[in-house]
Chains A and B, each alone.
Chain A
């Protein structure tokens, strides 16, 4: 009796130890992999709030000086830098503009490619991948020419359109996969239950491809937010510059660099994508495809 009880108690304890060990290994590996990134961000943060950092990232001499750009114009050497908020707004407009256009077009095109009988569909899909292998930079001059003809040069819209246009094919390809995963029967069922094709699309299919929408939206937002070369080429008015160009300005203008200011700005630059990611993730992820036989 005593013996069996002992075994009974001990067995789960071994189980626990194993589980904890397993978790420890898992977390260890993940930590080791992310450590360099974490250290870099830590350094960035410490740098942005101290006058000087010691041995890598130990701060000394706290200062809010680096973040002074948030509440007033910054004089940088001889130049008065443009205020940060309009610049941030420019970046946001570009990022959200790209996201909006890219997601809505990719959603429709992806659905069509997945569900409708499109001629040359397979060749088309392969072509998308092949074209994606060419760097967008090779099209810079041609795009400039086109935008110029359209009278869009030196507007935010020029960057939005060019970026979205280049990203849409891949986004379409990605989201088509999500549509493919929605069983035909579910759509057919919606039609039989009284939906029009459009109703079936937004009442039944769209909720099921939310994770795809999230993925495309995140990629699109990041692409727009990080866009540099098109902005630099198509925009001449410093008031229309996005943050990415603004930051280059902090490095390039003078012989010396204000690291504290640069670090703070860089950190500031990385916050919106994080916020966007968290929001999108919460709202869209985790939609199960069950309720089907064999799924």
Chain B
């Protein structure tokens, strides 16, 4: 419905910088997920967009209109609160109808809309109940229905599926995504479930400690994490991150982690050398890019199998290398036992190197 632009948005609570200089543009009809650990400022950002919190600094635009100082009721946003925030004294029906009544819609239209959205959220049999008579998951769906019913310009959802069981959550994810595309409503979706973010969003904004870490498509986030935080946060099992140094060695380039050395392609080595501020690096490789081989080869890491974590479709092998652990992903059925000596062959095209000092990715 509208484009959303956050321009240098900040919110300080005394000393705490809940949100710090957030710059973000969201296209009309785009589905953006805010992803980040607890306390990183996701809810605070949503509340600023909704108009509940006044930003300490910065502006908020809907299309080209500066709405920073506009009252919440005039912003026409729909919001699902993290705490649901249903009206305890109203029945489910009246909870959902409340925003429509305030818009002074005709009664029969309200009735039609409420029943339609209730059906969609599978709560049409609960319309006569009070919130206290509902389970957490049911309350959450009432909150969703209330936000969806009002044809908002922007939909803000704060962990709207957190309380549903696994099956219903997967179903609802698909429903919400489909609905969002149908309604073409600009949506911001807060979650700390990366699978949810990756599977639903057009773009993901990863936040940490009030700051935006990276804002890109799910694929890019996974393949090209911009810094160490994103690299460690996205992906499960997480990327292996190992302290190392980078140096030139007899005409080539070497990543030296002490217990193993990896020789880089000259082209890649050049890029690293040109972007690095020092010699200290963090070397990163995703578990699925580590192949387990049974004999030493060029560019392999030697270790012993420590523990196996079968996941059904995959098998995570924890390999102890010196005093740290490297996770490798393989298919089940390999004949490995704890204590076995193995070598990890790294797919050198898919490795990541971060500048330890700045935390930023250099390739």
Check B102–A294 contact: CB distance below 8 A: no
Residues of chain B contacted by A191 (CB below 8 angstroms): 51-52, 71-73
Once A194-B103, A196-B71 are accepted as A-B contacts, the answer to whether A290 and B132 lie under 8 Å apart by CB is: yes
A-contacting 9-mer, from B78-86, B198-206, B258-266: B78-86
- Nearest neighbor of A182 in chain B, beta-carbon distance: B88
A188-B50, A194-B102 known; A204-B87 Cβ under 8 A:
yes
Cα A271 to Cα B139 in complex, Å, equals: 44
B89/A193 in contact, CB under 8 A? no
Per-residue CB proximity of B313-328 to A under 8 Å, as 1/0? 0000000000000000
For the complex, what is the distance from the CA of A204 to the CA of B47, rounded to whole Å?
19
Chain B residue with the shortest CB-CB distance to A196: B73
Q: Is the CB of A183 within 8 A of B85?
A: yes
> In angstroms, how far is the closest chain A Cβ from the Cβ of B109?
16
Collect the chain B residues with CB atoms within 8 Å of residue A252's CB: none
CB of A185 closer than 8 Å to a CB of B? yes
Q: A199 contacts the other chain (Cβ, under 8 Å)?
A: yes
Chain B, residue nearest A288 (CB): B132
Contact among B83, B89, B136 for A207, CB-based, below 8 A: B89
CB distance from A208 to the nearest CB of B (A): 6
The reply to whether A192 and B72 contact each other, CB–CB distance below 8 Å, is yes
A188: B residues at CB distance < 8 A: 47, 50, 52, 72, 81, 85
* B281 in contact (CB, < 8 A): no
B85 touches A185 (CB 8 A): yes
Whether A190 sits at the interface, judged by CB under 8 Å, is: yes
**Is B131 an interface residue when CB atoms closer than 8 A count as contact?**
yes
Residue with the greatest number of chain B CB neighbours at <10 A, chosen from A194, A204, A294:
A194
Contact B146 A193 (CB under 8 A): yes
Instruction: Place the interface of chain A in its size category.
Output: 20 to 34
A60 at the interface (CB under 8 A from B): no
Chain B CB within 8 A of A18 CB: no
Which residue of A183, A199, A291 contacts B102 across the interface (Cβ within 8 Å)? A199
Q: Mark B51-66, 1 if CB is under 8 A from A, else 0.
A: 1100000000000000
What's the nearest-Cβ distance from chain A to residue B121, in Å? 16
B130 within 8 A of A: yes
Q: Is A292's CB under 8 angstroms from B99's CB? A: no
Chain A residues positioned under 8 Å from B47 (CB to CB): 188
> What are 23 inter-chain pairs, A to B, with CB distance below 8 A?
A185-B83, A185-B84, A186-B86, A186-B88, A189-B86, A189-B87, A191-B51, A191-B52, A191-B71, A192-B72, A194-B73, A195-B102, A196-B71, A204-B89, A208-B89, A287-B89, A288-B88, A288-B130, A289-B88, A290-B131, A291-B85, A291-B87, A292-B83
Q: A194-B99, A195-B73 are in contact. List 15 more A-B contacts (CB 8 A).
A: A183-B83, A185-B81, A188-B47, A189-B79, A189-B81, A191-B72, A193-B73, A193-B150, A194-B102, A196-B71, A204-B89, A207-B89, A290-B88, A291-B131, A293-B84
Report which B residues bind A (CB closer than 8 A). 47, 50-52, 71-73, 75-79, 81-89, 98-99, 102-103, 130-132, 136, 139, 146, 150, 163
The 7 closest A-B pairs by CB, nearest first: A291-B131, A290-B132, A291-B86, A194-B102, A185-B85, A189-B85, A193-B99
